[in-house]
A and B are shown apart, each in its own frame.
Chain A
Amino acid sequence: MSMVHQVYPVAADDFTRAGEASADIKRRLKQLGVSSAVLRRVAVASYEVELNLVIHSDGGELTLNVDQDGVHLISKDVGPGIPDIDQAMREGYSTANEEARSMGFGAGMGLPNMKRNADQFAIESQVGKGTTIEMTFKLA
């Protein structure tokens, strides 16, 4: 069974490269011929999750897996972790700093958007350790 597996390291605070991983993911999904509806949802979620790595994490990586069942995105970082996940998941909740806000981020919509767009969404976090988010998008 064939499968696509790509790993993208994402550095904290590196706004010059922010968005490159999700752009590459989009390009690959187009090459694979993933339908427009699915592509659009992955595009939104992958961009949000990548930017959260840049803005909120101490660095991490984004992994793309594609197999027969669907598109899987895994974001894993090395900290600082989220103390209250329910709070972080709420629309409008954001701890983004001034710099990020001045760049148009910090509406507190990223996590809710990921959850809305993915068919399966799981988040796990430990303060001091890091955060892992797994999303699945069914192909059909």
Chain B
Amino acid sequence: MSEVKRFHSVRLDKDLCKGCTNCLMHCPTEAIRVHDGRAHIIDERCIDCGECIRVCGYHAKIVETDSLSDIKKFKYSIALPAPSLYAQFRNLKDIGYVLSGLKKIGFDDVFEVARAADIVSRAIHEKLRDPNLPKPLISSACPTVVRLIQVRFPDLIPNICDIRQPMEVAADIARKEFCQKTGCAPEDVGVFFITPCPAKMTAIRSPIGQQKSCVDGAISMMEIYRALRPYVAKMQNEEDLHGESSHYGVGWASSNGESKVVCPDDSLSVDGIHNCIRVLEEIENDKFSDLVFFEGNACVGGCVGGPLVYENNYVAKNNIRKLVSAIKAKENINPVESVPVSVMNKYPLYMDAPIEPNPVMKLDDDIQVAMQKMERMNQLIDELPGYDCGSCGSPTCRAFAEDIVRGYFTETACIHKLRKQLKVMAQQMVDLAKTSSYEEKKE
């Protein structure tokens, strides 16, 4: 297998980074180290969760996304709003305001990702009828959780649902429908996802479970929100566009939205990356052998809490709740019953590549060598103070010991150890000074 450098959308602005330890301490995969006065991201470990973006007080962690001006690179452009975009507006009476607004700011067409979520919901619901499925089936909607499993829980890969995420299905349908409508060539159409997170951007450039993404780019929800706000504020549906997704599809914006429709009775939904880790540990121990479906969202509250959204996640969650009840009051349809089978058969809904493990925690390919390294690590840990202070540049003393055996750092990077050594040396100097030298004796 050729070593392709992994694409990451989370980056570091070297000039802004002060080399503090905030991000170091919060990274769920221990992917950050600080040396030479600034943070470094270990590419193979980064899962693009965006925790470091949230905690950096200097705004030195940045996200590489496409910008609104990039849509001009294509003859035609289609916007794929994630349902979390609706959550950015308080008292949104009509999703049409947002859809119309997207056309006003430059897109030629709009396709709701929530519509694709309806289709995916039915596909997962059907899949869950198979009695031979591993339990629980794990949602593949949040790419951060999928990457987390690749890195920290590779043994749970067989549990991941192999149905494509709504963003991909939406892009596929949007492009095909647009080309059919207009007669233009597929390559003339740029399909852009309005993203709440860096992870989706990464999922487009380095797809998981897919040979190639159907999406051409991702634009930060924050940027779109700024451009869109004046149009939505007018509360006019100038393009006469209407939300076509069910309230369930829109509900995918919040945590539990997916579970609620695909498996309301035997599912568990967990939000926040650290909570996801805790529950995945238990799933690994078979503590949830009766559980049918597990939905993990890396962000607190679900995608409404993504690192690239404008609104506070609790407010956004509430906005979605209100929107969902308004749609439900108008039309209460359930996609698992209503999405036509013809639609299900028309578009590819399954992944077309395997999800590979990414066992970066492994100390060595040779287990004998790995055991030796572990033994050395144990010795080092015993000698370290256990403060987990981060001043060596590793997140914990244990990680520091690991970094030494991996050859990233040397022991002197620990100031506490160095101080101890200096004390011994200072004493030795004093002792040495007390002894008289050869010259002194002669005098």
With beta carbons under 8 angstroms apart, the residue of A32, A33, A39, A66 that contacts B155 is A39
> A68 CB to closest chain B CB, in angstroms?
8
8 Å CB contacts to A: which residues of B344-372?
A: 357, 359, 361-365, 367-368, 370-372
Tell me whether B375 and A2 are in contact (CB under 8 A). yes
Q: Find the A residue at minimum CB distance from B281.
A: A23
Tell me whether B374 and A40 are in contact (CB under 8 A). no
Tell me whether A33 and B285 are in contact (CB under 8 A). no
Q: Contacts of B152 on A, CB cut-off 8 Å? A: 30
With beta carbons under 8 angstroms apart, the residue of A28, A30, A32, A47 that contacts B287 is A47
Q: Find the A residue at minimum CB distance from B365.
A: A33
Tell me whether B374 and A44 are in contact (CB under 8 A). no
Question: Residue B13 at the A interface, CB < 8 A?
Answer: no
With beta carbons under 8 angstroms apart, the residue of A31, A36, A40, A43 that contacts B363 is A31
Question: Interface of chain B, helix or strand or loop or mixed?
Answer: helix
Q: Contacts of A31 on B, CB cut-off 8 Å? A: 361-363, 370, 374, 402
Q: How large is the interface on B (under 10, 10 to 19, 20 to 34, 35 or more residues)?
A: 20 to 34
Question: Residue A4 at the B interface, CB < 8 A?
Answer: yes
With beta carbons under 8 angstroms apart, the residue of B285, B359, B365, B372 that contacts A47 is B285
> B33 CB to closest chain A CB, in angstroms?
17
Cα separation A2 to B287 with both chains bound (whole Å): 33
Q: Contacts of A113 on B, CB cut-off 8 Å? A: 286
Tell me whether B284 and A33 are in contact (CB under 8 A). no
- The answer to whether residues A44 and B286 also contact, given A23-B281, A30-B361, A33-B365 and a CB cut-off of 8 A, is yes
Cα separation A26 to B153 with both chains bound (whole Å): 10
Q: Contacts of A30 on B, CB cut-off 8 Å? A: 152, 154, 359, 361-362
Cα separation A33 to B370 with both chains bound (whole Å): 8
Give the 10 A-B CB pairs with smallest separation, nearest first.
A36-B155, A47-B285, A2-B371, A33-B362, A40-B155, A32-B370, A44-B286, A30-B361, A2-B372, A31-B363
Query: CB within 8 Å of B: which residues of A?
Result: 2-4, 19, 22-23, 26-28, 30-34, 36-37, 39-40, 43-44, 47, 66, 68, 104, 113, 139
Query: CB within 8 Å of A: which residues of B?
Result: 152, 154-155, 157, 281, 284-287, 357, 359, 361-365, 367-368, 370-372, 374-375, 402
